[in-house]
């Protein structure tokens, strides 16, 4: 292992430790920031074992934020201007037309900057079948449909979590056709970045990291065996001479 790579891995380990310490101190925001940085650095370093550990911490951080937001209750409908700076009240929000997916993401980012936990669900116009399209965006766009909330002006926390879970399942299903370990892991990472509240989506990414790490280990073992066989063959040729 080169000194440069060792330094990268040490930085990742430090970030994982920072995230764990922050969570133990009930600071989910710092836990999330450190875990996310560790995940992205691990991905760049192609260290999928460390990446999986980071995703587990990211999931725990985001679950704590989500539970705090739901406990805070319904915070309002966003169908006009989205605040460009904090503070944003904690709670769960419904973003609806004419606002769109990018507005929901912007609201979540402003809330993070203000240090208040929120869950944001973005809905689109009701379809002809009477269902409610929902969307979240990031490196990719995830869409699905659920039933309308009983009260469209004040959805229940159960409806909000149904929407969150439905988007997670839609994202996972999008990647179910991808059998290649690294490509599936990459696709799920993009979807976790687009849907930070998707608990089962994070779980799927942890599993994908495990498979990607095993694939990389097997590839390294095959490469080492091939190099060893080539060296042995060259040595035999030299002896024959």
Residue-wise pLDDT tens digits, 23-55: 999 999 999 999 999 999 999 999 999 999 999
Provide block-wise average pLDDT over 10 residues at a time, the chain (241 residues): 90 98 98 98 97 98 98 96 88 97 96 96 96 97 97 97 98 91 96 97 97 86 68 58 58
- pLDDT at 239 (0 to 100): 56
Give SS3 for 16.
helix
- Give the tokens for residue 88: 């944003």
* pLDDT tens digits along 212-221: 999 988 777 7
pLDDT of residue 87: 86
Name the nearest CA neighbour of 61 among 94, 95, 8, 16. Answer: 16
d(CA 112, CA 222): 45
pTM over 0.85: yes
**C-alpha closest to that of 45 among 19, 16, 10:** 10
Distances (CA, A) of 21 to 8, 14, 49, 84: 20, 10, 20, 31
């Amino acid at each position: 292992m080169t000194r440069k790579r060792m330094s990268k891995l040490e930085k990742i380990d430090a970030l994982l430790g920072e995230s764990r310490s922050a969570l133990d101190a009930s600071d989910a925001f710092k836990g999330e920031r450190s875990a996310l940085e560790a995940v992205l650095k691990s991905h760049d370093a192609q260290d999928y074992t460390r990446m999986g550990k980071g995703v587990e911490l990211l999931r725990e951080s985001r679950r704590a934020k989500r539970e705090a937001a739901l406990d805070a209750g319904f915070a309002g409908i966003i169908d006009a201007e989205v605040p460009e700076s904090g503070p944003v009240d904690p709670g769960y929000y419904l973003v609806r037309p004419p606002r769109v997916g990018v507005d929901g993401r912007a609201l979540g980012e402003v809330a993070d900057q203000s240090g208040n936990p929120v869950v944001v669900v973005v809905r689109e116009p009701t379809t002809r079948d009477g269902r409610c399209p929902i969307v979240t965006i990031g490196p990719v766009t995830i869409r699905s449909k659920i039933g309308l909330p009983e009260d469209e002006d004040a959805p229940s926390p159960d409806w909000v979590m149904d929407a969150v879970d439905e988007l997670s399942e839609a994202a996972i299903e999008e990647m179910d056709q991808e059998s290649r370990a690294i490509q599936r892991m990459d696709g799920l990472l993009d979807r976790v970045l687009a849907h930070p509240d998707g608990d089962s989506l994070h779980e799927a990414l942890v599993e994908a990291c495990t498979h990607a790490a095993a694939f990389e280990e097997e590839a390294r073992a095959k490469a080492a065996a091939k190099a060893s066989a080539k060296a042995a063959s060259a040595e035999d040729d030299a002896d024959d001479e």
